[in-house]
Amino acid sequence: MALIVQKFGGTSVGSAERIAQVAEKIKGFKAQGHDLVIVVSAMSGETNRLIGLARDICADPDQREMDVILSTGEQVTIGLLAMKLKSIGIPAISYTGAQVRIETDSSFGKARIQHIDEAKLRAELDAGKVVIVAGFQGVDGQGNITTLGRGGSDTTGVALAAALKADECQIYTDVDGVYTTDPRVVESARRLEKVTFEEMLEMASLGSKVLQIRAVEFAGKYNVPLRVLHSFKEGPGTLITLEEDLSMEQPVISGIAFNRDEAKLTIRGVPDTPGVAYKILGPVSAANIEIDMIVQNVSKDQTTDFTFTVNRNDQRRTEEILRKVATDIGAREVAGDSAIAKVSIVGVGMRSHAGVASKMFEALSRHGINILMISTSEIKISVVIDEKYLELAVRTLHSAFELDAPEQDSDHI
């Protein structure tokens, strides 16, 4: 008998019919003798509806009150699922984040979990009940309701699994696992049987939407085995684990991630003096704008060009900041470009294989794809290219690193 934490996303509980399907799935696991803690999101579309209501009332809603409103979406789902389970003979009880006592800091809208009191959950499990917990939410030290940010239900699931020392945390979603890349771009993409926390963290940060980054970080920190599964299709899914696959067939590259939500900013004619990078990036960081890739050109005539990327939604604000910075430091001009995309190859196998970067660059050049920026780490290489070449680049690299699925067996590496 295992203790399993299962998390179901918004599409999985998006209607009464789907909640009933989830209940039947839970009934099957309970029949096998497992102890179950279930974490659910708000029904699909509900969070956006609540945000819309708040903005109809106030153009700039108070964040504390926004958290009060948004937390109700998950509260509806836990109640409905508990009712359905009871109606089919499965003892169940629902809890909000505050009732469990998922304690967070007071950063409304993006709170971080600090402690979970698991005593109440253990008592209910010992009584034979399925415990259903609202994802995405907690409570701070003053008793205020807090939310964990978009995708926070994944983090709730992993955090509960860590606190309870669960045997596995299963994330149910609308895909049947983690793929080598998005199957909508590359039809021959393969489902990975296993991937390391390191690789998953890189893929999540680089554009893969399967799991929330914070959830992967949490799972890696506390070594919680994660499994991504399809809500309504049977299959083994993808296991995310601390251990690397040491088999001889382990590929050098595990996956290709991409992100269209990038913008490139360049400040030209920057005086090449000590501290100038801070003078440029300091004000951007102070505005809570996350900076990704950075390139500084070789100095010429005591001036240089400084380029970096941000999320496309932050482009306008960043340009405004840079124009003021340019005036203050005596730079020549500021230019922005949103018609770019980032493509990344990820794999722990890169540590023990030389020539990965040159193979990537050669494959792209063969198809006339120009590289605008490059960033590397131990297990990933990212390039910024013109957005119009994004899908061609992904398909090219997927083929170059032999990630395409075998025709007869697309489910195995």
Known binding residues for substrate are 47, 74
Q: What is the spatial distance between Cα 212 and Cα 201, in angstroms, rounded to a whole number? A: 9
Q: Nearest CA to 349 among 191, 199, 182, 192?
A: 199
H or E segment at 334?
Answer: strand 333-346
Binding residues for ATP: 7-10, 173-174, 179, 184, 209-210
Which tokens go with 102? Answer: 């998922």
Binding residues: 7-10, 47, 74, 173-174, 179, 184, 209-210
For residues 149-166, b (16+ Cβ closer than 10 Å) or e, as one string? eebbbbbbbbbbbbbbeb
Q: Nearest CA to 229 among 279, 202, 191?
A: 191
Q: Where are the alpha helices (DSSP H) in 287-413?
A: 315-329, 356-366, 390-400
Radius of gyration of the chain (CA): 23
Length of the chain: 413
Q: Nearest CA to 101 among 126, 120, 77?
A: 120
Q: What is the spatial distance between Cα 99 and Cα 97, in angstroms, rounded to a whole number? A: 6
Looking only at the bridges linking them, the beta strands covering 145-147 and 113-116 are unpaired
